[in-house]
Amino acid sequence: MLEVRLFATLRQGREKVYHLDAAGFPDGTAVLDHLHIPKEEVAIFLRNGFHSPTDTALADGDIVAIFPPTGGG
């Protein structure tokens, strides 16, 4: 099982946390596609607390945290 945590505006129209069957999501891109999150809406992608590219490989038990760009002033 993967745990996917969404933050800030990514929660709009989505849940805060998803639990996904790891077998169907070999990498971060598959998770983003499943949740309909465009790549340009991803600023920070953490796999088990480490900054990672969005296409990083995922494994059963991973925790993924995704933050969108927050750039207004």
Partner 1 sequence: MEERYLRNLGPLTEAEQALLASKTVFLAGLGGLGGHLLEHMLRLGVGAIVAADGDRFTPSNLNRQLLATEDNLGQPKAQAAAERAAAVNPGVRITVVSAPLTAQNRDALLAGCDLALDGLDNLEARRILAAGCDRAGIPLVHGGIRDWCAQVAVIPPGSGLLDRIYPPHLSELSPSGTVSPVPAWCAAVQAAQALCLLCGRPAPLWGKLLAADLLHGEQEILPL
- State which residue, 13 or 23, has the beta carbon closest to partner 1: 13
In this structure, what token pair is assigned to residue 39?
Answer: 């790549």
Q: How far is the CB of 12 from partner 1 (least distance, A)?
A: 8
Looking at the Cβ atoms of 16 and 60, the one nearer to partner 1 is: 16
User: What is residue 26's DSSP assignment?
Assistant: S
Secondary structure (DSSP) of 49-60: TEE--TT-B--T
Site residues (vs partner 1, CB under 8 A): 7-9, 11-12, 39-40, 43-44, 46, 49, 51, 65, 67-73
Judged by beta carbon, residue 23 or residue 49, the one nearer partner 1 is 49
Name the burial class of residue 56, with classes exposed (0-12), middle (13-18) and buried (19+) by CB atoms within 10 angstroms of its CB. middle
